[in-house]
């Protein structure tokens, strides 16, 4: 990290709509704030399981509010996130593990594509409402994000390797160690200690804590 710059880690999963909002805002702020943004792809399912958390949509009133909330935030931050009531079922029926392993493989081998690739996964799932779990879709997403066919194919082959599986598990465990119980989990390393912020609606508070 550069002297005087605050390291900010964003633990995210592309199945999480709030993670997309937090991601876009931090990607914008990294050019304005004195921060080094580190993208940390992790597995939301693992965090929920290990902390005993439940998806917000399991509470009908909360699901009702979440639809309005996501809509308002998407409009406010100008992110093309389109959420409907059917999306709760879609999330439950989608295996996002291959996607997060693929993103992890790219993070390990060609991190310069990490931002564009992550964004493209969210675009497919939350803007175009397409499947992100199948290998051919993953390859199409990677090509759209600017990865060569060769690079995409290599990363796809890596998702079944212990190296990638372990890395995703480690990153997920790290998020939990910082106190994460859902996503996005934003950790700012400031004044020698980590400060955890949960959700995409605490970013002004994050700025205030780190003097931005």
pLDDT band at 58 (very low <50, low <70, confident <90, very high): confident
Instruction: Please report whether residue 38 resides in a domain.
Output: yes
Residue 21 scores a pLDDT above 90: yes
What is the mean predicted confidence (pLDDT) over 137-153? Answer: 97
pLDDT band at 1 (very low <50, low <70, confident <90, very high): very low
pTM for this model (two decimals):
0.96
Q: What is the DSSP string of 168-201?
A: HHHHHHHHHHTT-SSS-EEEEEETTEEEEEESSS
Instruction: Please report whether residue 48 resides in a domain.
Output: yes
What local confidence, expressed as pLDDT, does residue 43 receive? 97
What local confidence, expressed as pLDDT, does residue 45 receive? 94
Question: What pLDDT, in 10s, does the model give residues 156-172?
Answer: 999 999 999 999 999 99
Instruction: Please report whether residue 1 resides in a domain.
Output: no
Residue 16 bears catalytic tag: yes
Q: Which domain holds residue 85?
A: 6-210
What local confidence, expressed as pLDDT, does residue 87 receive? 87
Q: Which of 16, 19, 118, 200 is flagged as catalytic?
A: 16
Residue 2 scores a pLDDT above 90: no
pLDDT band at 31 (very low <50, low <70, confident <90, very high): very high
- Strands 185-190, 6-12: pairing is antiparallel
Q: Count of domains in the chain? A: 1
Between 16-20, 64-68, 88-92, 145-149, the lowest mean confidence (pLDDT) is in 88-92
DSSP state of 162: H
What is the mean predicted confidence (pLDDT) over 55-77? Answer: 92
CATH number at residue 74: 3.40.30.10
Instruction: Please report whether residue 81 resides in a domain.
Output: yes
CA angle 14, 141, 91 (to 5 degrees): 35
Question: What pLDDT, in 10s, does the model give residues 190-208?
Answer: 999 999 999 999 999 999 9
What local confidence, expressed as pLDDT, does residue 56 receive? 80
Instruction: Please report whether residue 99 resides in a domain.
Output: yes
CA 201/CA 33 separation, integer angstroms: 17
What local confidence, expressed as pLDDT, does residue 12 receive? 98
Instruction: Please report whether residue 158 resides in a domain.
Output: yes
Q: Tell me the chain's radius of gyration from C-alpha atoms.
A: 17
């Amino acid at each position: 990290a550069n002297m005087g710059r605050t390291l900010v880690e964003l633990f995210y999963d592309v199945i999480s709509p709030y993670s997309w909002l937090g991601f876009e805002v931090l990607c914008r702020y990294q050019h304005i704030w004195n921060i080094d943004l580190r993208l940390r792809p992790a597995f939301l399912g693992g965090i929920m399981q290990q902390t005993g958390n439940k998806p917000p949509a399991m509470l009908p009133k909360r699901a009702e509010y979440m639809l309005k909330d996501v809509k308002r935030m998407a409009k406010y931050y100008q992110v093309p996130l389109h959420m409907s009531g059917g999306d709760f079922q879609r999330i439950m029926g989608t295996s996002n593990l291959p996607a997060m392993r693929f993103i992890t493989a790219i993070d390990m081998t060609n991190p310069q594509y990490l931002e564009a690739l992550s964004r493209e996964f969210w675009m497919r799932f939350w803007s175009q409402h397409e499947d992100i779990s199948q290998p051919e879709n993953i390859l199409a997403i990677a090509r759209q994000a600017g990865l060569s066919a060769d690079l995409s194919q290599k990363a796809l082959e890596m998702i079944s390797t212990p190296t990638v599986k372990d890395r995703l598990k480690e990153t997920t465990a790290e998020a939990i160690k910082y106190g994460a119980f859902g996503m996005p989990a934003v950790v700012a390393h400031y004044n020698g200690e980590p400060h955890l912020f949960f959700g995409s609606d605490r970013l002004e508070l994050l700025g205030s804590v780190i003097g931005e």
